[in-house]
């Protein structure tokens, strides 16, 4: 039996995407700075699991269990005390479509195709992660009713570590949304 199904390569994506609301600040960058930009972490907490994955030699596994318990309690306290992380960092909440290779977001100034944009984003979570990324504008449409332009851009000069943080956030957020959907039904 022949398989007659065809895959539309224009719809293939390298990374998963999610529609979400995150803290976001976007500004145009001087074209002369294009070669010197590099995505970076503004706030990148090191979860205890990552610290413990290193080759630490210890005979006291009880201490490690206590550290893990303290870490999870601190995460819960942070999440409880700071319900709106974006106001903590001064970011405005914006509706975006996010993947590890690009973003679609609203912007008050219309950029031209090929312009470079600095995007500071706060990915809520426990703990939250702030990233400063650079993206090349693919298109800008609008203005919309809000007076903002709908901008699609691809990330440039981004290391795997930052891409992994974005992917981790997307998967965590998708799990959270699926859990909430299951609880509603």
Pick from 37-46, 67-76, 107-116, 167-176: least confident? 37-46
Of the two residues 170 and 13, the one the predictor is more confident about is 170
**Does the structure show a pLDDT above 60 at 8?**
no
**Does the structure show a pLDDT above 60 at 109?**
yes
Domains of the chain: 16-184 (2.40.10.220)
Mean of the pLDDT values across residues 115-137?
A: 89
Residue 31 CB contacts under 8 Å (≥ 6 apart), including other chains: 115, 116
**Does the structure show a pLDDT above 90 at 151?**
yes
pLDDT band at 13 (very low <50, low <70, confident <90, very high): low
Of the two residues 35 and 20, the one the predictor is more confident about is 20
Residue 127 CB contacts under 8 Å (≥ 6 apart), including other chains: 45, 47, 75, 78
Q: How many helices and strands (H and E) does the chain possess?
A: 4, 7
**Does the structure show a pLDDT above 60 at 60?**
yes
């Amino acid at each position: 039996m022949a398989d007659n199904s065809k895959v539309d390569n224009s719809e293939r994506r390298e990374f998963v995407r999610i529609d979400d609301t995150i803290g976001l600040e976007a500004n145009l960058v001087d074209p002369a700075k294009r070669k010197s930009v590099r995505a970076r972490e503004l706030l990148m907490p090191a979860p205890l699991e990552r610290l413990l994955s290193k080759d630490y030699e210890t005979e006291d596994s009880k201490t490690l269990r206590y550290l893990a318990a303290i870490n999870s309690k601190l995460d819960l306290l942070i999440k409880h005390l700071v319900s709106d992380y974006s106001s903590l960092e001064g970011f405005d909440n914006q509706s975006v479509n996010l993947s590890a290779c690009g973003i679609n977001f609203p912007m008050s100034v219309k950029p031209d195709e090929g312009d470079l944009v600095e995007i500071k984003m706060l990915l809520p979570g426990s703990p939250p992660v702030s990233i400063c990324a650079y993206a090349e504008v693919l298109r800008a449409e609008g203005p919309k009713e809000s007076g903002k332009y709908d901008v699609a851009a691809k990330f440039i000069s981004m290391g795997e570590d930052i891409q992994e943080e974005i992917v981790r956030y997307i998967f965590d957020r998708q799990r959270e949304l699926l859990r909430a959907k299951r609880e509603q039904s």
